[in-house]
Structure 1
Amino acid sequence: MPYEFRQQVRTRRFNGPTAGHCGEYAQANLAILPKAYAEDFLRFCQRNPKACPLLAVGEPGQGHVPALGRDVDVRTDVPGYNVYRDGVLAEQPRDIVEYWRSDLVVFAIGCSFSFEQMLASDRIPLRHIEENVNVPMYRTSIANQAAGPFGGQLVVSMRPMSGAHAVRAVQITSRFPGVHGAPVHIGSPAAIGIEDLNRPDFGDAVTVREHELPLFWACGVTPQSAIESARLPFAIAHRPGHMLVTDIPNASLAIL
């Protein structure tokens, strides 16, 4: 269950990618920013809902976000964090207790790991889980809709599938806009500015078999691209692939 899993993360008994864990519950990407930038970042999320579907927004200075679940503490309950200074990745701590400030605002953003349980239930293979690696993620040539200082390029996650599985995956994920929804692109990586599938910008490369199609979903690492482009003096995010597991049932995020 999510609460028990978060306890394992908090006590450092678990520190890896979270794909495949607590599959019936939503996982969240994090962007944690000073209050001075929160309004602009909220508008950025509203303008880029595929990449940044909001699950919850915390109060300034509050590491506990009740909307995400029982005793959730974003300072300790994520397996890995990225700390940015002046838009540059500076540190990757295991927790952010010592980095916490009274002006920080938590944005929890839906994650494509959440719909993977539905894909697996429909017997659609997920290569990164089969190969026990982090999902591959790529920077694209697709520009985000800017808001204030936030812009940057869309980041996508990729899952290779047969044609038949790809059609079904589109049908399933279209019902879950709160966790990125349907793919933003299917097929040629070059068409969205990806030069080599074997060299992801985040995560790990996976096998793409003959006759399989790469499917690309908008990814919650996109805010990190926006943080970099904004050159914020200080910001925190999750380490790609290392999510906050919430108590929110995935089924509650479906649309009819």
Structure 2
Amino acid sequence: MKKEDFKTPLELRLSIAKGEWDQPTSGMLGDYQQANLAVVPKDQAYDFLLFCVRNPKSCPLLAVSEVGDPVIHFQGSEINVCTMLPRYRMWKEGEYVGETLDLTEYWQDDSVAFLLGCSHTFDAPLNRAGIPVSAEAPAVYYSNIPCQSVGAIQGNMAVSMRPVAADKVALATTITARYPSGHGAPVHIGDPALIGIDTLENPDFGVFGGVPEGYVPVFWACGVTPQAVLPNSGGAYLFTHFAGHMLVLDQTVDEVAASLL
């Protein structure tokens, strides 16, 4: 199937759960909310919840699972976080151990899952406003912008970059500020060196498609941040989405944004 063949988020999630789709979700079902995933042990869950509260730009909290239950209930939808994202990353005792297409066999009795907002949320509104956004996953970088720490959970913010025409940066800022579930307004505009990024050509995740003449690099907080701050925080394990391979929810971006305001 092609990206455009999927008509509803549920259709996409069921296809993913059957092993029929394992590609990025950027550019798919643009009017619907997408979400990042972080799964931590119960003994880290409160600290990570507090971390999300203190860092809403990078970790806009949408939902939290019951302990040991991989099914999250979100605004009338039931979502199995072990099977309904296209690809996952895994750590054990702080060491990265690889990726998987299905978390079921790795899920633990003490696992707690967090759904966090994603910047793909505002790609469609930007496109409609005449600010073109690539259908590819955006370039993502680890920055030097510090997060507010909670115990051992500490580190810097990950950011996603989209080039925006210089005369439309103010419009892009206004539009994205309406979507706290998509990380809201930019955290930096312009020179990447000012936020610790030496070169745009080598993102940590995603694809760098260049910055055309007359365009400015614009940076938003990114839901990859937990993958920067959690591995070395002392947890026995960590599961996350693979960058760009998101959970697509049944609610529109405007419905979710309205529920958070």
TM-score grouping bracket, smaller chain normalisation: over 0.9
What does 1:68-87 correspond to in 2, within 5 Å? 70-87=77-94
Report what 1:29 is aligned to.
Answer: 36
Specify which of 201, 205, 209 is matched with residue 202 of structure 1.
Answer: 205
Q: Secondary structure at the match of 2:248?
A: strand
Task: Give the Cα separation in 1 of the matches to 2:257 and 2:102.
Answer: 32
Task: Give the Cα separation in 2 of the matches to 1:70 and 1:39.
Answer: 24
Specify which of 105, 110, 113 is matched with residue 112 of structure 2.
Answer: 105
Contact 2:162 2:218 in 1 (8 A): yes
What does 1:131-210 correspond to in 2, within 5 Å? 133-210=136-213
* Matched residue type, 1:156: V
Percent of pairs identical after alignment? 42
Q: CA deviation at 1:57?
A: 0.7
Structure 1 gap ranges (5+):
none
The verdict on how the C-alpha distance between 1:135 and 1:120 changes in structure 2, with shifts beyond 3 A counting, is same
Task: Give the Cα separation in 1 of the matches to 2:214 and 2:104.
Answer: 47
Contact 1:88 1:231 in 2 (8 A): no
Q: CA deviation at 1:68?
A: 5.8
Report what 1:5 is aligned to.
Answer: 12
Report what 2:5 is aligned to.
Answer: none
* Matched residue type, 1:170: T
* Matched residue type, 2:85: V
Task: Give the Cα separation in 1 of the matches to 2:58 and 2:76.
Answer: 22
Task: Give the Cα separation in 1 of the matches to 2:137 and 2:27.
Answer: 10
The list of structure 1 runs, each at least 4 consecutive aligned residues, that deviate by more than 4 angstroms after superposition, is: none
Contact 1:182 1:217 in 2 (8 A): yes
Q: CA deviation at 1:252?
A: 1.5
Q: CA deviation at 1:171?
A: 0.7
Task: Give the Cα separation in 2 of the matches to 1:171 and 1:101.
Answer: 42
Q: Secondary structure at the match of 2:171?
A: helix
Q: CA deviation at 1:168?
A: 1.1
Contact 2:36 2:223 in 1 (8 A): yes
Task: Give the Cα separation in 2 of the matches to 1:79 and 1:40.
Answer: 27
Q: How many equivalent pairs are there?
A: 252
Task: Give the Cα separation in 2 of the matches to 1:175 and 1:111.
Answer: 13
Report what 2:241 is aligned to.
Answer: 238
The verdict on how the C-alpha distance between 1:93 and 1:68 changes in structure 2, with shifts beyond 3 A counting, is farther
Contact 2:231 2:238 in 1 (8 A): no
* Matched residue type, 1:207: G
* Matched residue type, 2:41: P
TM-score (norm 1): 0.95
Contact 1:32 1:237 in 2 (8 A): yes
Task: Give the Cα separation in 1 of the matches to 2:75 and 2:250.
Answer: 6
Report what 1:59 is aligned to.
Answer: 66
Deviates more, 1:63-72 or 1:107-116: 63-72
Task: Give the Cα separation in 2 of the matches to 1:192 and 1:241.
Answer: 22
Q: Is residue 124 of structure 1 aligned with residue 99 of structure 2?
A: no
Structure 2 gap ranges (5+):
1-7
Contact 1:3 1:70 in 2 (8 A): no
TM-score (norm 2): 0.93
Q: Secondary structure at the match of 1:66?
A: strand
Report what 2:3 is aligned to.
Answer: none
Task: Give the Cα separation in 1 of the matches to 2:43 and 2:223.
Answer: 22
Specify which of 103, 127, 152 is matched with residue 96 of structure 1.
Answer: 103
